[in-house]
């Protein structure tokens, strides 16, 4: 399977739908974000190991989450748990030079790995940095969109607070009773009102 075979599969499965997101998948090659020993598996629709027990997410899951997020040109976007840098690059491609994408990652080895991968593309409007003690990046808030690629134990109010009114958060949340995770789409209607929709049946590394 090659890059275009993977995209064809995601299209056939109905996971990829939006023109700008499809174009981003076409432009950003997953093989640029996997470890050398897994290059031969770069286009498989399954997670692959990166550093410190973490993974680069399954392509169909990334596509599903981006379709929920609906990033747009010019958006200010926060990518929490940026990992290999693949999601950061996809978001940067969609946001374009009028936008800005901040990737934050807790694991130092992944900050380096993700930054090196992101540097394979000309995205001066995107970068990956070490996560701090506070979830997210409040000093750069508010954001139009926030993507989280690791599952927390509860809805992260800190990230909702960092959204602008009218913004959207897509985040996995653990369900310890069923040992599966759900992806949640959270729309911030106003400073006092949010709308949440749950999509169960996923598996993510835990948010630390």
- Other beta carbons less than 10 A from residue 53's beta carbon: 9
Q: Which helix (H) or strand (E) holds 166?
A: strand 163-175
pLDDT in tens, 116-163: 999 999 999 999 999 988 999 999 999 999 999 888 888 999 999 999
115 assigned to some structural domain: yes
Count of structural domains within the chain = 1
Annotated active-site residue in 57, 82, 84, 182: 57
> What percentage of the chain has pLDDT greater than the value 70?
96
CATH at 121: 3.40.50.150
3-state secondary structure of 156: coil
> Which DSSP letter does residue 51 get?
S
Q: Which is nearest to 185 in space by CA: 162, 207, 169, 165?
A: 169
Give the chain's radius of gyration (CA, Å): 16
155 assigned to some structural domain: yes
pLDDT of residue 54: 85
3-state secondary structure of 66: helix
57 is catalytic: yes
Give the structural domain span for 165. 3-202
164 assigned to some structural domain: yes
208 assigned to some structural domain: no
pLDDT: which is higher, 46 or 180: 46
207 assigned to some structural domain: no
Query: What residues have CB less than 8 Å from 106, skipping those under 6 apart?
Result: 81, 130, 131, 208
Residue 147 CB burial class (10 angstroms; 0-12, 13-18, ≥19): buried
Residue 177 CB burial class (10 angstroms; 0-12, 13-18, ≥19): exposed
- The residue count of the chain comes to 208
- Are β-strands 180-190 and 163-175 bridged in parallel, bridged antiparallel, or unpaired? antiparallel
pLDDT of residue 178: 56
106 assigned to some structural domain: yes
pLDDT in tens, 68-123: 999 999 999 999 999 999 999 999 999 999 999 999 999 999 999 999 999 999 99
């Amino acid at each position: 399977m090659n890059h275009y075979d993977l995209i064809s599969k995601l299209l056939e499965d109905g996971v990829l739908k939006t023109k700008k997101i499809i174009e981003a998948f076409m432009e950003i090659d997953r093989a640029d974000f996997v470890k050398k020993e897994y290059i031969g598996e770069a286009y498989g629709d399954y997670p692959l190991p990166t550093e410190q027990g973490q993974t680069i997410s399954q392509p169909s899951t990334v596509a599903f989450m981006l379709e929920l997020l609906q990033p747009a040109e010019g958006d200010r976007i926060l990518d929490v748990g940026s990992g290999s840098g693949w999601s950061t690059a996809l978001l940067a491609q969609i946001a374009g030079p009028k936008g800005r994408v901040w990737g934050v990652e807790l694991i130092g080895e992944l900050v380096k790995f993700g930054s090196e991968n992101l540097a394979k593309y000309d995205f001066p409007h995107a970068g990956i940095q070490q996560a701090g003690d506070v979830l997210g990046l409040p000093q750069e808030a508010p954001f139009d969109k926030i993507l989280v690629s690791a599952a927390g134990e509860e809805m992260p109010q800190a990230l909702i607070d960092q959204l602008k009114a009218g913004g959207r958060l897509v985040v996995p949340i653990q369900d310890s009773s069923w040992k599966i995770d759900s992806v949640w789409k959270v729309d911030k209607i106003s400073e006092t009102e949010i709308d949440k929709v749950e999509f169960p049946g996923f598996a993510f590394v835990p948010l630390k």
